[in-house]
Structures are given as structure tokens and as C-alpha cells.
Amino acid sequence: MTILVENRAGYRVITLNRPERLNALTAKMASALTEALGAAEADPECRALLLTGAGRGFCAGQDLTAIADARPAEIAALLEQYNPLIRRLRALSIPIVCAVNGVAAGAGANLALACDIVLAARSASFVQAFTRIGLVPDCGGTWFLPRLVGAARARALAILAEPLPAETAAEWGLIWQAVADEELMPNAETLAGRLATQATAAVALTKRALDASESNTLDAQLDLERDLQAKAAQSLDFAEGLRAFLDKRPPVFGKTRS
């Protein structure tokens, strides 16, 4: 099994599972992952996802042994498998936490950056390894990097392809947090569990608003926020959130996504 899927209370853990190759990606693995995302989203019991890697690495990017004899056209065609995965991840209505347990290289780094909240073990690192082997950053790398860390750092990371330690990645805003290695999974599980009890519809609408802001003007974004707020205001979660506040008790949100 190239990925493992485990049900937890309110969320699922997806583990990349080719530890002997630092969870390097194959086309088969990418489509299994895309399928697992769809299945999780379709399950009303699943209100958050946690993505991590088995063994000492998170993901070493494309499995280079699998493309050793590929022709140039076949190399580019592989992105027909990876691009749908990145699009699926970004469009997912439930939040996804990524626990980067070790090195995240090439497409593996950008897979992590496509997630909503990225935690990394202090011993982990992020490498835009592409130019080292004569390729360009893909899987959204050239889109995520400048937006997360600014143009100067994005250029150096993409062109020099040097590893960025997890703590610097957090300082630069590439990820949410770097934590002690032994605290990574407990923290990531706590976070996914917490997301599973939040107002799921409001979280989905918030993700939509943030994604749209990447290309919207302020005017368009204000209009969008008004429209999304109108939807959120109609939700049972808002009724519950407001009532709980007035009653001075913690809210109990349901599983509805709209």
C-alpha cells in the first residue's frame, strides 16, 4: 500500500508509505492520494485530515528510479497525475494539517505547502530539489513560494535548491510551526482533532475566501466576504456559536458543511 488511511474521531490520517524511498512519489501513489482525499471529503464523519510520512522522511518528491528511462514527453506528462492532486488538495472543503516528519524535497515539499496548516519536526527540512537535477519547480512550487516567503527568498530557494531547516521555514512564514520531533504527531493530532470539532462550514468558506484573495482585488474580495458571510450566517453552526457565546458555554458544532 503506497498510502495508509486511518480513521480517528472526526478526522482521518493519511500516511505516505514508501519509507525505504523516503516516500518518493509515483503516479500510482498520486492517484491513490487524490482518491483518498475525495473519499474523506465525501464522508460526513470526516471533518479534517492529517497528512504525514512513514519512516524518517516526509516525501522525497518524484521517485527518480521510476523515471530513469522516461522520455522528456513522459516526464512532463507525469504532471497530469500530480496537478490534479494539488488542485484537489487546495479545493478540499475540509481542512488539512500536514505533519512534516522529515525531509520534504521537490514535489514532496510542494505537496506539504499545498496543505492548510503545516507543522514540521525540528529535524525536518524543505528542499526545492528540482534545479539540482535540471528540472523546474512544479506541483505549485513557483506559486506557493513567493506568496509564502516573498520574492527574494522564493527565488533563492527555487534557484539554489538548498535545504531550508524547519525552524527557518517557520521563521520565514513558509510553514505554521516547527516543533520538537517527539511533539510533532501529538501536536498534529491535537490540531486535527480540534479542527474536527470546529464549525466545518465556516472553515470551508474561510478557505474559499483566502484562496480567492490570491487573484481578487480588495473590492472583489469585500464582495465575496459579504456573500460568504451571508451563507455562514444561515448555518446551524452560527446559530449554535452565537447561542453558546450568550449562554457562556463552549459551542457544540454539528457535521453540516453548509
Sign, Cα dihedral of 20, 21, 24, 26: negative
Distance CA 8, CA 53 (A): 17
Q: Tell me which of 9, 75, 233, 252 binds ligand T3D, using CB under 6 A.
A: 75
Whichever of 85 and 119 has its CB closer to ligand T3D, that residue is 85
Q: Does 185 bind ligand T3D (CB under 6 A)?
A: no
Whichever of 42 and 68 has its CB closer to ligand T3D, that residue is 68
In the range 84-113, which residues lie near ligand T3D by CB under 6 A?
103, 105-107
Q: Tell me which of 24, 50, 157, 191 binds ligand T3D, using CB under 6 A.
A: 24
Q: Tell me which of 9, 39, 133, 180 binds ligand T3D, using CB under 6 A.
A: 133
Q: Tell me which of 5, 8, 17, 21 binds ligand T3D, using CB under 6 A.
A: 21
Whichever of 120 and 192 has its CB closer to ligand T3D, that residue is 120
Alpha helices in 150-233 (DSSP H): 151-160, 166-171, 184-195, 200-213, 218-233
Q: Tell me which of 130, 144, 238, 253 binds ligand T3D, using CB under 6 A.
A: 130
Q: Does 65 bind ligand T3D (CB under 6 A)?
A: yes
Contacts 24+ apart (CB under 8 A), 164-169: 164/125, 164/126, 164/127, 165/122, 165/124, 165/125, 166/100, 166/120, 166/121, 166/122, 166/123, 166/124, 166/125, 166/126, 167/122, 169/120, 169/125, 169/126
Distance CA 78, CA 141 (A): 16
Q: Which residues are at the interface with ligand T3D (CB under 6 A)?
A: 21-22, 24, 60-65, 75-76, 78-79, 103, 105-107, 127, 129-130, 132-133, 135, 138
